[in-house]
Amino acid sequence: MSLTGTAFLYTLIVLSVVAVVLPLALWSRLRGPKPVRALGRLLMVLFAQGTAVALVFVLVNNENNLYDDWADLIGTGDHVQQAANLGVDGTGGIALKRLPRVRQHFTDASGPGMGGVRVTQLKGRVSGVDAEVYVWLPPQYHQPAYRHHKFPVVELLSGYPGSAKAWFGSLHAVNQLQGLMRDGEVAPFILVAPRMNLLAGVDTGCANITGTVNADSWLSVDVPKMVTDNFRAQAGPAGWAAAGYSAGGHCATKLAVAHPDRYRAAISMSGYDDPIGERGSLAAETPALRRANNPYLLLRDARTPPAVALYQSGQPGDGYEAATGLEQIAKAPTTVHVVYVPKSAGGHNMALWRPQVVPAFRWLTEEMGLLHGRAGGTIPRSRSSAGSRPAELASGTASPAAAARRP
């Protein structure tokens, strides 16, 4: 029975009701010696508590898309077939353009918010990762007027723990963006959500760690190659962006800063710079790994500032300081867009990030140089040459740092 399936949820609801009714009906009717009756009553109490805890967990898990299946929950999932030394660029010297095109088999994905989403099992030819990838195509994709059009892509990254379905299920990305894409208010992006939880019980930190995992190459090499092989998708970097929340936000920023030849922009909601921000991260295990996967240090020490745009939102103590730190060291052509989220907006959860999806994608549409056509299409536009700048909240309230600089 699936962990996230309707059948399992309804079974728990029925068992929870039974757990309440059972002691009411049998508490005083138990027969036998006193120890036997005491044991029977104790078992009924434990059964009631166990079913209640299980039901609450499943409801929370379904709402936040934390664990996809039993293997993720129990910690037995392993999606790494091999983790060779792929070198500094993460390709292992493989000429990606010479790799033959591989056609993937897609099926309809199931679950809340997954309407129109398709899924495939991808065996990464470079990374050695074997895991699922979800893809959603914008409304224009199948329209005759766009049959020769190549679409921009956003890679959606979940937090830890987190499911690749989270952007569609918990954050309602399709429900929020589909109409805006159709009306030309947001560019018609292809949305791609790859599995992030690749090893049992640990966060990969989106890092390449020889002998353990090549998560960076999975996300920045194998997944983009699969998308361009199977869909009318623009090639990187001009047509690609990454977006994530929490650990996924850290990953999105790191991928864009580390690979400006593969990504044009990144969205981070409540992300962090130092991998130690997620104590379960493999990228936080050694000082060398922490340095190599810290976007602040990568940006600060870059010989040539990368031509990437970064959207960074956060609350005080939860991403805001990391965002302003990037803003302070960024030099053109790098741009940093800081969104201050007040503490009153909520905690580190889906309810905080869900309202940020539309403003972030509006920003992304503008920053990637995509203008709105009358039919909801996009027209190339010259990229902004602006340097690092503050941003405003969707409500129009500027961040404290931005307000302090205004005349």
Three-class HEC string of the chain: CCCCCHHHHHHHHHHHHHHHHHHHHHCCCCCCCHHHHHHHHHHHHHHHHHHHHHHHHHHHHHHHCCCCCHHHHHCCCCCECCCCCCCCCCCCCCCHHHCCCCCCCCEECCCCCCCCEEEEEEECCCCCEEEEEEEECCHHHHCHHHCCCCECEEEEECCCCCCCCHHHHCCCHHHHHHHHHHCCCCCCCEEEEECCCCCCCCECCCCEECCCEEHHHHHHHHHHHHHHHHCCECCCCCCEEEEEECHHHHHHHHHHHHCCCCCCEEEEECCCCCHHHCCCEHHHCCHHHHHHCCHHHHHHCCCCCCCCEEEEEEECCEEHHHHHHHHHHCCCCCEEEEEECCHHHCCCCHHHHHHHHHHHHHHHHHHCCEEECCCCCEEECCCCCCCCEECECCCCCECHHHHHHCC
383 — pLDDT class (breaks 50, 70, 90):
very low
* pLDDT average, residue stretch 347-360: 95
pLDDT tens by residue, 202-259: 999 999 999 999 999 999 999 999 999 999 999 989 999 999 999 999 999 999 999 9
pLDDT of residue 76: 66
- The answer on pLDDT for 381 being more than 80 is no
Prediction pTM value: 0.82
pLDDT tens by residue, 224-236: 999 999 999 999 8
- Between 406 and 341, name the one with better pLDDT: 341
* pLDDT average, residue stretch 332-337: 97
